[in-house]
Each structure stands twice: as C-alpha cells, then as structure tokens.
Amino acid sequence: MTEFVFYTLAAAAVLSALLCIVQKNPVPSALWLVSTMFALAGIYVLLNAQFIAAMQVLVYAGAVMVLFLFVIMLLNLGHASETDRKRGPVVLVAVLLAAGIAAALFAVRDTSVASLAARVGAPEVASSPLAALPGAGRVQSAEAFTNPIASIARPMFETYLVPFELTSVLLLAAAVGAVVLAKRKL
Amino acid sequence: MLLGPSLVLSAILFSIGVAGVMLRRNAIILFMCVELMLNAVNLSFVALSTAHGFTGQVMVFFVMTVAAAEAAVGLAIILAIFRHTKSVDLKTMNLLQG
C-alpha cells in the first residue's frame, strides 16, 4: 500500500515537473510546480519526515510560490512570449545533458544504496538511525520514533545551533537586500 | 524500503530542472527550475535521513531557508531588470555583451 501511494505521488511529481518546464505561460508553469511540491510533501510523509512535509507545504508551496505568482502578476507576465522557448540543436543538447546527469546520479545512487544497505544491515544501526549523529548518545531512540519534532529539534538546537542562528542573519540580509533592489528610489 | 526509489525520483526531478534551465529564456521560469532542483536535492536528503539519522532533515531546513532568501533577492533583481528592459527575457539582458 505504501509503495503504491509512493509510486502514484512520484508519477504525479515527475509529470507536474515536466508540464512545468514545457508550459508556454508562466502562471500555469508556477501552478504545476506547486503540484510537484505537494506531491513531494506526500512523499516526505511516507519517508517519515512529517515536519519537513509541513514545512514544504508552508514555505515552498505557500510562501515561495506565492512570491513567484505575485511577481508574475505584478509585472503582467501572464502571456507567452515567442523568444521564451529555445529551438534547434540546443533542445537535443539539453535533453542529452539531462539524461547524462540522471545517469551519473543513478550510478552514484547504486553505490550509495549498496553501502547504505551494508550499514543498515548492521544490527545497532538498524535499531537506531540516530547512532550516526554526533552526540547521539544523549538522544534516546524511543523518543525519536514517538516524537519526530523532538528528534529534529535536538540536532538543530544542539549540534547545528550556530548555523541555525546564522540563517536569521541571512534572512535579514535577504529581506533588506530585496527591499533595496526593488525600491525605485531610496 | 523507499530509499532507492526516492533517490531515483530525486535524480529524475533534478534532470528535469536542468533541462528546464537549458530550454527556457524566461527568467522567472528559470528561477522555478532552480527551485525544482533544490526540491530534488531536499528529497534525497530526506530519503537518506531514513538511513543516516535526522541530520539530513536539519539540512533540508537550511536548504529551505536559503531557497527562500534566494527567491526573495532573485525576484527583486528580476523586478529591477524589468524596469530597465520592460522584459524578463534573457535575450534582452545583454548589457555586458561585447
């Protein structure tokens, strides 16, 4: 059942992503990207990452895509332009490049999944996925499985506290930068 | 286990994003393709976190933060360019061309 849901969502994600890049008009393109993000949120739930799924819907499908649609509407870009889609040999080059990257990623996946399977096969790792974390001894694995938020919050606010605080500076810089760039006259 | 299929899906979505960046000239659609690639990477982080512990999900959080900042600044740049050229087509952005 889980696999059936996964493959349905995966097919929806790939189909929406393809439709996103071939649409002439930017508005349907953005809406197909929202559909991809919702499908990915469903896959995150299947992968036992409920917090990330909620963040995906709130931040990506909510905030970021609304920002995109807002700019499309503000600049009145809701119509197709003739020079937008490239034609000729560049199409072949793009498809070949994408296929090459996919092939390279498949090759990496095969090696990484093989080595991961060897690691997961080890009994202590299989019993606790947290064993790979630095400072994992302090976190009890039973809590990790009953409370997914706590199991993310612990590494975020213990091991990665400084990067977490630095993201606030990044967001402030981005907000100020966006205002400065978009303003006609300061 | 969904780890292998998730990584395959991630590779496919990333390649679609690359193809979109290659094939389009609309700056906004280009940005959306970049977001698609970031999403593909997020998917592989989450998939690998099922085997490696929750650090991967923390990384996804950071990627989302950086993506949101990038979208805000990038769209502001597009807005500024649109005021100059009255278009978001990459063909019209040739000020530095010799």
Which domains does chain A show, CATH number per domain? 1-78 (1.20.120.1200), 135-186 (no CATH)
User: What residue ranges do the domains of chain B occupy?
Assistant: 3-86
User: CA triplet A39, A45, A51: central angle to 5 degrees?
Assistant: 110
Interchain contact A144–B (C-beta under 8 A): yes
Q: What is the mean pLDDT of chain B?
A: 89
Summarize the confidence of residues B76-88 as an average pLDDT: 87
In this predicted structure, the answer to whether residue A134 has a pLDDT above a threshold of 80 is no
pLDDT at res. A133: 52
For the domain made up of B3-86, give the CATH fold: Helix Hairpins (1.10.287)
pLDDT at res. A142: 46
Summarize the confidence of residues A82-97 as an average pLDDT: 83
Interchain contact A87–B (C-beta under 8 A): no
Quote the CA–CA distance of B82 and B89 in Å, as a whole number.
Answer: 9
Q: List % helix, strand, coil for chain A (3-state, nearest 5).
A: 80, 0, 20
Interchain contact A61–B (C-beta under 8 A): no
pLDDT at res. A148: 76
Beta bridge partners of residue B26, listed in sequence order: B89
Pick A67's closest partner by Cβ from B48, B62, B72. Answer: B72
Contacts of A179 in chain B (CB under 8 A): 76
Q: What is the mean pLDDT of chain A?
A: 82
Band of pLDDT at residue A101, cut at 50, 70 and 90: confident
Nearest CA in chain B to A85: B24
pLDDT at res. A20: 92
pLDDT at res. B25: 87
